[in-house]
Copies of this chain bind each other. A is one copy, B any other.
């Protein structure tokens, strides 16, 4: 069977990225600003425009595509295509699938952006060829997903994979989710920034906020982290080591429960710092693996698809869905 032609879209808080994808290859792509503060209708219209630009580049029209699959940053009902809650977009219960089908006239599949990224890495990236893979994505939050026995695991309610909300410190730091001690409250960029700020307020010095200002950033981005580490900022180093320690505990917990072949780390921080960011995570993880034969063979590796994981993963999800519908 020849690979179907699919539109893959990554809907982020900042950018919309759309691409025409066939068999893991991006044939044409287009990026536009999301403009979330202008409201749901504007964003949906801009998705349509971005997709049409891709179709124009390809010199194709909607009927040549088997499906469109879009990854949204939040809780998605994959059956109905409704985005229940996407805080970065300020969306609640948006029937994204239905709206895009009406606009573009082709079948639309909606899924969570991190699930999609994990599946992209599984089929074409760092998890290629494995049956059991865990993905951990470190960004302003911490997300993840799992492939179990070769199949993406969605869970009973369809909300599996919330690895960022594994409690790694009982009665610990307040997390953005309202609970305490989640790994996201220690190892996300948001958490690292908060921890550095707290230490600074206690009287310790840091260059992180100067670097942030110099780069014109309003929050701790991956490039600010990299520049701060290059400047030898002690607080930044401690925040990274703290994040790595808790990500190591998370990894060990997931390995002891799920016994994967590979754990793939993605997100901006990992893209910038690569295997150097992952190695200390691995050292802590291995200290907490239950001693069983083969533990040393479990691979902890960086994601390889980068920004392409969104559209390529979306095409993987679409193809799966098309096949299961046959």
Residues on A facing B (Cβ under 8 Å): 75, 84, 130-132, 144, 146, 148-149, 151, 153-163, 165-170, 177-179, 245-246, 249, 252-254, 256-261, 287-288, 290-295, 298
Contact = CB atoms under 8 A, between A and B. Distances in A.
Given A144-B257, A163-B256, 5 more contacts: A153-B258, A157-B294, A165-B290, A167-B168, A170-B245
Contact of A165 (B146, B157, B161, B256): B256
A131 B168 CA distance: 28
A290 B162 CA distance: 8
Nearest to A131: B156
A148 to B, nearest CB: 5
A254 B153 CA distance: 13
Nearest to A177: B290
22 contacts: A146-B257, A148-B153, A149-B153, A157-B259, A157-B294, A158-B259, A159-B259, A159-B292, A160-B257, A160-B258, A162-B257, A162-B292, A163-B256, A163-B257, A165-B288, A165-B290, A170-B245, A170-B249, A177-B291, A178-B291, A179-B287, A257-B257
Contacts of A249: 167, 170
Contacts of A179: 287-288, 290
A45 B123 CA distance: 49
Among A131, A170, A252, max chain B CB count under 10 A is at A170
B292 A259 contact: no
Contacts of A132: 155-156
Contacts of A161: 257, 259
A223 to B, nearest CB: 29
Contact of A293 (B157, B259, B288, B294): B157
Contact of A170 (B130, B165, B168, B292): B168
A136 B161 CA distance: 19
A254 B155 CA distance: 11
Contact of A75 (B144, B148, B178, B292): B292
A157 B144 CA distance: 22
A77 to B, nearest CB: 9
Nearest to A152: B149
B259 A257 contact: no
Which 9 A/B pairs are nearest by Cβ-Cβ distance?
A: A155-B259, A160-B259, A156-B261, A162-B256, A165-B290, A157-B294, A165-B256, A166-B253, A159-B292
B293 A258 contact: no
Contact of A254 (B144, B148, B245, B257): B257
A258 B134 CA distance: 12
Contact of A167 (B157, B252, B295): B252
Nearest to A168: B170
Contacts of A178: 291
Contacts of A160: 257-259
